[in-house]
Amino acid sequence: MSALMDSPLSRPEPPTRPRPEARPAALAPPRLGGLAFTALLVVLLMGGLGGCLLLKTSLQEQAFELSSLRAEAERLGDHEAFLRAGLALRTTPAELARAAAGLGMVANPYGAYLILPGGQVQGVTRPVNGSELTAMAPPVEPPTPDPTAPAVDPAAPDGSAAQTDPDRTAQGADPDPAAAGQGEVAGAGGGTTALTSDQTEAQALSSGPTDPTETG
């Protein structure tokens, strides 16, 4: 059947029915109906508010997550930069030369070449006795202090000190914040809680348990 046929215009006139008798309308809506309506309104309101609350909570959670992820990304980026800086310091020619000299290695200026294919050797290989390039040997004393390791305190009173172990701090965190604080003061003012150069070394080389933000 076509839609045209279905149009209300073409619908046949409904059969006339006897007109119903007029009845007086109820004077007042039933009391129960009013209560139901109020309840409906309340439910709608509560539902709306609840929905809003849920939405807001979810948005806030996402915002928190976003900011914490951002902070984490920044922290990791900083950590990477810190490690790269440490690596760059350890791979400099000066550092390699010093390390090699420390292992008793000396430069060999006598190059020889293996020609491929064929396998003949060009140049004369010979052992060195260490007197060949002494004028290029690394200086005996280390040069300037490491500029990118500000955590090293050259004036640190002593080389042994507590590490900033987050667990230790967490366990030590007294319910009374002042107590924990005073403990820290005593450490800082007296024996010093200084991170030592060893500590810095550890930080540079690993993000292990000495890293307070790692587990904190």
Partner 1 sequence: MGRRVLISLVGLALASALLAARSVQVQGIDSQSNAQAALAEMVRQPLIPATRGAITDRNGEILAVSEPAVTITADPNIVVTNGNDPDRMGRGDRLKADSAAGVIAGLLVAYLGGEYQDYYDKLTRTETADGTKIRYVVLARDVRSYINGQLTAHLSQLGYRGLFREQSPVRSYPNGSLAANVLGYMTHDDALEAEGKFPWTGGGGLEYALDANLTGVDGREVYEISPHGRIPTGSTVLEQPQDGISYQLTLDAGLQYMAERRLATALTETGARSGTVIVLSIKTGQVLAMATNPTFDPNQSGLADQSVLGNRAVSDAYEPGSVQKVLTMAALADAGLVTPETRVEVPAEIISGDKPIHDSYSHGTLRLTAAGVVANSSNIGTVLLARQLDKASLSAYLSSFGLGQRTGVGLPGEASGDLPGADMGSQTRDHISFGQGLSVSAIQEAAAVAAVVNGGLYISPTIIKSATRSDGQPVDVQAQTTRQVISPEASDIVLSLMEAVVASSVGKDRFPIEGYRTAAKSGTAERYDADCACYRGYVASFIGVAPVEDPEILTYVVLDDPKGAIQGSQVAYPVYRDVMKVALPRFGVPVSTSPPPDFEINW
Site for partner 1 (CB under 8 A): which residue of 43, 73, 173, 205? Answer: 173
- The residue written with tokens 């000190």 in the block is 161
Question: Element (H or E) spanning 113, and its range?
Answer: strand 113-114
Q: How many CB atoms sit inside 10 A of residue 199's CB?
A: 19
**Pick 43 or 128: Cβ nearer partner 1:** 128
Residue closer to partner 1 (CB basis): 36 or 185: 185
Least gap, CB of 20 to partner 1 (angstroms): 36
Q: Report the site for partner 1 in 38-67 (rule: CB under 8 A).
A: 59-60, 62-63
Sole binder of partner 1 in the list 26, 32, 124, 140 (CB under 8 A) = 124
Q: Which is nearer to partner 1, 33 or 123 (CB)?
A: 123
Q: Which is nearer to partner 1, 46 or 63 (CB)?
A: 63
Shortest separation between residue 80's beta carbon and partner 1, angstroms: 9
* CB 133, min distance to partner 1, A: 6
Cα separations in angstroms, 54 against 42, 45, 50, 99: 18, 14, 6, 61
Q: Which stretch binds partner 1 (CB under 8 A): 8-16, 19-27, 46-54, 131-139?
A: 131-139
Could you say which of 33, 50, 77, 159 contacts partner 1 (CB under 8 A)? 77
| 122 three-class SS | strand
Q: How far is the CB of 110 from partner 1 (least distance, A)?
A: 7
Q: How far is the CB of 213 from partner 1 (least distance, A)?
A: 4
Residue 152 binds to partner 1 (criterion: CB under 8 A): yes
The answer to whether 184 contacts partner 1 (rule: CB under 8 A) is: yes
Q: Which is nearer to partner 1, 47 or 123 (CB)?
A: 123
Minimum CB distance to partner 1 smaller for 137 or for 201 = 137
